[in-house]
Homo-oligomer: A and B are copies of this chain.
């Protein structure tokens, strides 16, 4: 172990290898579900150093098969499934990409930018905007998460409806393989059919196959105007009908479609009384719609009003408002984004990040709600999410008056089982946008096809035969 540590210090410089002091920022996951113990936190300055670090660890592991040395790549450490923090063995190197935070280039004619893995998402949004472009990936953690983490977990967010997940926004990757080799895959091409799709294999692999060190990302022209509307709908079925109408009326202009249940909104009202929540008191669900227009604000408003009028006439919307200005629009989004915080204020709950085919969403929620009510009378459901993508954050809160911590301890496993079984019944996914990490690695065994799991194991063994990269996450070998 001593020689390995010396090698690492030699590669990145002693100042960038942390072994002492408080390493909580790297050892504890975002949701504080796990606090591991790292052998060291290593912070390389560039791709070559990453490659040397991986090579050194691989050589040590090969020479000392029982050492248990392995590598956990880490970006902003904002992941929600315990996929980027070390276990408790004290044998894992946290490979932090934080220092690799340069934008290498922006190619306006090609609509791309090439960036290092440690760039903060928000910095990339700002960098693109300064050049008059949109980089559309957007999520609550954007001020802290890194693009490397977004790629590793194929993060979703609020613009997936129009622009896709992180995978769809990436054209090329630079990767250090599990052998410490450098794959120069930083292409800015829209079409390239020269062999297996290695890019998409590394995206979403959560650092278990190699280390993403840089990426070439898609840019879009900035919209001329962006408007936000808030609509009350009588049911989830009606929200789905509204979604179909919105697709037809707005096409690619529809860049946001978020649905929020009445109880979720009532928690915002209760815990953040300064935030006025429109239209929710009489309506089981509200929808937040965003329309991005290439022409003008007036045009955007006319299109939005035409849509909402049609929806009101058809009865799938009972009432609606369009934000009059940017600050009203921000306030509507702020309500949506305050739901998770309102839940925290109300007490711990059991979270699910699931997706269901849009056509079956309403049926899924009705069926699962009633199964849960039967199982735990009085249970409260915080139901909100990116309906446009079929993605629900379907969270289960203790019945009123029941101690939340006790509830979590005693019921989490049962509730998960019930919800995930229902998800499987409706051909949904047990992890829509958060990934598997260590948190769901065993759960996945129950819900993923054995044939798919066996292929995943074969790929992991083929690309990382030493099981050096983030072992025990996503798939065990």
Residues of A within 8 A of B (CB): 107-112, 153-154, 156, 160-161, 164-165, 167-168, 177, 181-185, 187-198, 200-201, 203-205, 209, 220-221, 223, 240, 243-244, 247-253, 294-295, 303, 355-360, 386, 388-391, 427-436, 440, 444, 447-449, 451-456, 458-463, 474-475
Q: Which residues of B contact A250 (CB under 8 A)?
A: 294
A430 touches B194 (CB 8 A): yes
Q: Which residues of B contact A243 (CB under 8 A)?
A: 109
Q: Which residues of B contact A191 (CB under 8 A)?
A: 156, 160, 165, 355, 386, 389-391, 429, 432-433
C-alpha spacing A292/B71, complex, angstroms: 49
A251 touches B252 (CB 8 A): yes
Q: Which residues of B contact A252 (CB under 8 A)?
A: 251-253
Most buried by B among A220, A355, A391: A355
A358 touches B196 (CB 8 A): no
Q: Which of B161, B184, B253 contacts A449 (CB 8 A)?
A: B184
A205 touches B194 (CB 8 A): no
A431 touches B194 (CB 8 A): yes
B195 touches A436 (CB 8 A): yes
Report if A455-B183 is in contact (Cβ < 8 Å); known contacts: A201-B197, A475-B195: yes
B189 touches A193 (CB 8 A): no
- Closest residue of chain B to A200 (Cβ to Cβ) is B200
Q: Which of B167, B196, B463 contacts A474 (CB 8 A)?
A: B196
Given contacts A108-B244, A200-B200, A458-B463, 12 further A-B contacts (CB under 8 A): A109-B243, A154-B197, A160-B191, A165-B191, A189-B357, A191-B355, A192-B429, A192-B432, A195-B448, A195-B453, A196-B455, A221-B248
Q: How far is the CB of A181 from chain B (nearest CB, A)?
A: 5
Q: How far is the CB of A316 from chain B (nearest CB, A)?
A: 12
- Closest residue of chain B to A223 (Cβ to Cβ) is B251
Q: Which of B182, B200, B358, B448 contacts A197 (CB 8 A)?
A: B200
Q: Which of B203, B358, B431, B458 contacts A109 (CB 8 A)?
A: B358
C-alpha spacing A448/B196, complex, angstroms: 11
B109 touches A195 (CB 8 A): no
Q: How far is the CB of A80 from chain B (nearest CB, A)?
A: 11
Q: How far is the CB of A420 from chain B (nearest CB, A)?
A: 11
Q: Which residues of B contact A197 (CB under 8 A)?
A: 154, 167, 197, 200-201, 203-204
Most buried by B among A252, A391, A434, A436: A252
Q: How far is the CB of A143 from chain B (nearest CB, A)?
A: 22
Q: Which residues of B contact A360 (CB under 8 A)?
A: 110
Q: Which residues of B contact A251 (CB under 8 A)?
A: 220-221, 223, 252, 294
Q: Can you name 22 A-B pairs with beta carbons within 8 Å?
A: A109-B243, A110-B360, A156-B191, A160-B190, A182-B451, A184-B451, A188-B357, A189-B429, A189-B432, A191-B391, A193-B204, A193-B431, A194-B429, A194-B444, A195-B452, A197-B197, A197-B204, A198-B452, A200-B200, A221-B247, A455-B463, A458-B463
